[in-house]
Amino acid sequence: MRLKTKLTLGIGFLFLVIVVFGVFGIISIHRLRNDADRVLKNNYETLVYNNNMLKALERLPEDSLAFTLFENNLTLQEKNVTEPGEKESTLAVRQYFERVRINRNDTVALIGIRENIQLINDLNQEAILNKNQNARESAESAATWMTIIFTVLALIAFTLVVNFPGVISNPIRQLSAGISAIANKNYSKRIHLSQQDEFGDLANAFNSMAEKLDEYEHSNIARIRFEKSRIEAVINNMRDAIIGFDEKKQVLFMNSVAESLIGLREKDIVGKYAPDLALHNDLMRTLLQDTPRKELEIFADGKKSYFVNERIEVRNDEERIGEVIVLRNITPFHELDEAKTNFIATVSHELKTPISSIKMSASLLDDARIGMMNKEQQELLHSIQDDADRLLKITSELLNMSQVETGNIQLKIQTAPAESIIRQAVQAVQFQAQQKQVSIKTDIAASLPEVMADTEKTSWVLINFLTNAIRYAPEASVIEVSASRKKDKVSFAVRDHGIGIDEKYLPRIFDRYYKVPGNYEKSGTGLGLAISREFIEAQGGNIWVESAIGDGSRFGFDFPAIT
Ligand code: ADP
């Protein structure tokens, strides 16, 4: 039965109880009052009239007013005949009274009047007693019925009061327990209500919702498990080492490559605090250091491998929830690079001798003692000489670079005055400068301390700066070469007033094979500045550049001063 119907029936029943009880009570009270009224009207009044008639009868012979009083009460009595036998007696009283009216001393009639009045009185008294008895009986029966009805209704109402709240509260309790279970992710919870009402519908809806959530949860878990296994499979099959940490730097996972490189087993270190592990593990320590991308040389599994260290932050909505360190295996690139360097070194070395002999042959041809050449021949010969020079410069740069790359820079470090290094470099580019009518101004600060340097390689760097400066400076301009003291350092610089370099290219200017994009000289290799940096840093100095478009450039390096 529907809850609405139950409520309607319950409340309807109570309403009916009130109506029935009320109607029954009203009817009973009415009936009792009518009985009392009837007694009063039918019998009591008769007694009063009879009493009045008897009083009038006492005074009848002498008091003529008594006739009127008698007549009035008799008339009222005649209108109030209610009991069986009362009519005949009343009629007899009338007849005897008419005789007394004619003969006041008619004793028989007077006696007849008295007897009949007495009879009427008796009849009415008996009727009063009977009616009283009837009224008592109907009051008792009404009281009995009311008690019975009251008891039955009270029992029903009591049953309702005891059971009805449960009809509502029990399903609500079960439903709220079910909702709490769902809130606690217990999606297997079901509500079993046998009733077919609104609560039954609610329980069915709840059960189907819980079933859907259960299905969703299981499919989600299955999907998450699948994703996890897939990611684990991908991570474990990578050639790069991968280690994951949570936001508290505790190890979350590590793939097999990382295990063999670091020399620790994943199951032994998961959940451990990484800095604690780093205390006893060099590689872990290196990985945890916040150093920018750096090449690492690692000897593992009987061979040397090369890795670059990359840190990837794991974020969830702006919040940092962990970190993944990837050791990218660059060994194959390294091997290729090595092969390339060896190839370049061999080729450059092999080219040097034939180019030198081309140069020598060209200068012999240029000698007038061997024979005179016409103007065109001389121009061709000079172009051969220029190209041979350029080739020799390129091969020597490539050779230097391969030395740098293989870590084979041979340094002859000695104390050297800045002046001699600068002089050597300026002399080497003098001819080139003259050809472009560029003048080189040297500015060497007085009483400069000496520096510890490889004179040859340092002046090679200055020559490279000067060659570039001459190349990119306008004709007939001035190039300044300076050496000055900067605190505890000696600073060398070459300043030109050429085209300058855009600020955005400056960070990469010392990279290998890097040439500033644009309408610049095409002939260079992009190696000069990279070799310069390696030469200067190998000697403990640092190289720098200041430049702006249209304002020329200032390339330089600093060496620690000998104090
Ligand atoms: P390259 O042999 O090509 O000159 P470098 O390493 O010496 O190689 O120079 C790299 C690049 O830097 C050049 O290609 C050039 O674009 C730029 N560069 C070097 N020096 C200057 C300078 N003084 N003025 C303007 N650009 C320069």
494 band by pLDDT with thresholds 50, 70 and 90: very high
Query: What is the spatial distance between Cα 288 and Cα 281, in angstroms, rounded to a whole number?
Result: 11
- pLDDT band per the 50, 70, 90 thresholds, residue 232: confident
Of 194-203, 435-444, 479-488, which range is least confident? 194-203
pLDDT tier at 505 (50, 70, 90 boundaries)?
Answer: very high
Mean pLDDT, rounded, for 198-214 = 90
| pLDDT, position 480 | 97
* pLDDT at position 437: 95
How confident is the model at residue 76, as a pLDDT?
93
User: At residue 207, does pLDDT exceed 60?
Assistant: yes
Write the pLDDT tens digit of every residue in 326-371. Answer: 988 888 898 898 888 889 888 988 998 999 999 999 999 988 888 8
Closest CA to 245 of 326, 328, 322, 318: 322
521 — pLDDT class (breaks 50, 70, 90): low
**Phi, psi (degrees; rounded to nearest 5) at 25:** -60, -45
Q: pLDDT band for position 238 (50/70/90)?
A: confident
The rounded Å distance from CA 294 to ligand 1 centre is: 26
With 70 as the cut, is the pLDDT of residue 166 above it? yes
Q: What is the pLDDT of residue 293?
A: 64
pLDDT computed for residue 393 by the predictor: 86
State residue 291's pLDDT score. 67
Cα-to-centroid distance, 363 and ligand 1 (Å): 29
Which of the listed ranges 124-138, 220-234, 474-488 does the model predict with the highest average pLDDT? 474-488
Are 346 and 390 contacting, i.e. CB atoms less than 8 angstroms apart? no
The answer for residues whose C-beta is within 8 angstroms of residue 544's C-beta and 6 or more apart is: 555, 556, 557, 558
Q: Look at residue 303 in the predicted model and tell me its pLDDT.
A: 81
Distances (CA, A) of 343 to 336, 346, 414, 479, 524: 10, 5, 32, 37, 20
Instruction: Take residue 484 and report the two structure tokens written for it.
Output: 């000055």
Predicted confidence at residue 35, as pLDDT, reads 81
As a whole number of Å, the end-to-end CA separation of the chain is 107
| Residue 262: predicted pLDDT | 87
From 525, 529, 549, give the residue whose CB has the most ligand 1 atoms within 8 Å, as the site to mutate. 529
Count the neighbouring beta carbons within 10 Å of the beta carbon of residue 256.
15
Q: How far is the CA of 503 from the centre of ligand 1 (A)?
A: 14
The per-residue b/e assignment along 499-529, b for 16 or more CB within 10 angstroms, e otherwise, is bbbeeebbeebbeeeebbeeeeeeebeebbb
Q: Give the per-residue pLDDT at 292.
A: 62
Sign of CA dihedral 552, 557, 562, 563: positive
pTM check: above 0.85: no
pLDDT of the residue at 3 = 79
Q: Whose alpha carbon is nearest atom 4 of ligand 1?
A: 524
Q: What is the mean pLDDT of residues 489-514?
A: 93
Mean pLDDT along residues 446-459:
91
Q: What is the mean pLDDT of residues 523-547?
A: 91
What confidence category does residue 519 fall into, taking pLDDT thresholds of 50, 70 and 90?
Answer: low
User: How much distance in Å is there from the Cα of 361 to the middle of ligand 1?
Assistant: 31
Q: What is the DSSP string of 342-403?
A: HHHHHHHHHHHHHHHHHHHHHHHHH-TTT----HHHHHHHHHHHHHHHHHHHHHHHHHHHHH
Q: Tell me the average pLDDT of the chain.
A: 89
Atom index in ligand 1 nearest the CA of residue 530 equals 6
Q: Is the per-residue pLDDT at 441 higher than 90?
A: yes
pLDDT tens-digit profile of 387-435?
A: 998 899 889 888 888 888 887 788 899 998 999 999 999 999 998 999 9
Determine which residue's CA is closest to atom 25 belonging to ligand 1.
500
**85-105 average pLDDT score:** 90
Q: Which residues pair with 308 in a beta bridge?
A: 295, 328
Distance CA 50, CA 160 (A): 60
Tell me, what's the pLDDT at 487?
A: 87
Identify the residue whose C-alpha is closest to ligand 1 atom 11: 515
Q: Whose CA is nearest to atom 9 of ligand 1?
A: 526
- Taking CA atoms only, the protein residue closest to ligand 1 atom 16 is 516
Q: Could you tell me the distance, in angstroms and rounded to a whole number, from the CA of residue 395 to the centre of ligand 1?
A: 17
Please, are residues 419 and 427 in contact by the beta-carbon 8 Å criterion?
no
Distance from residue 518's CA to the centre of ligand 1 (Å): 12
Ligand 1 center from residue 186 Cα (angstroms):
71
What is residue 180's predicted lDDT score, i.e. its pLDDT?
93
Q: Which residue has the higher pLDDT, 451 or 142?
A: 451
**Any idea which of 80-94, 126-140, 291-305, 526-540 has the lowest mean pLDDT?**
291-305
Q: Which protein residues touch ligand 1 with a CB less than 6 Å away?
A: 464, 468-469, 472, 496, 498-499, 501, 509, 515-516, 520, 524-530, 553
Ligand 1 atom having least distance to the Cα of 469: 23
What is the 181 CA–ligand 1 centroid distance (Å)?
A: 73
Query: Is the pLDDT at 306 greater than 80, yes or no?
Result: yes
Nearest ligand 1 atom, CA 527: 6
Q: Give the mean model confidence (pLDDT) for residues 50-61.
A: 87
Residue 482: band (very low, low, confident or very high) from pLDDT cuts 50, 70, 90 = very high
**How many CB atoms neighbour CB 495 within 10 A?**
22
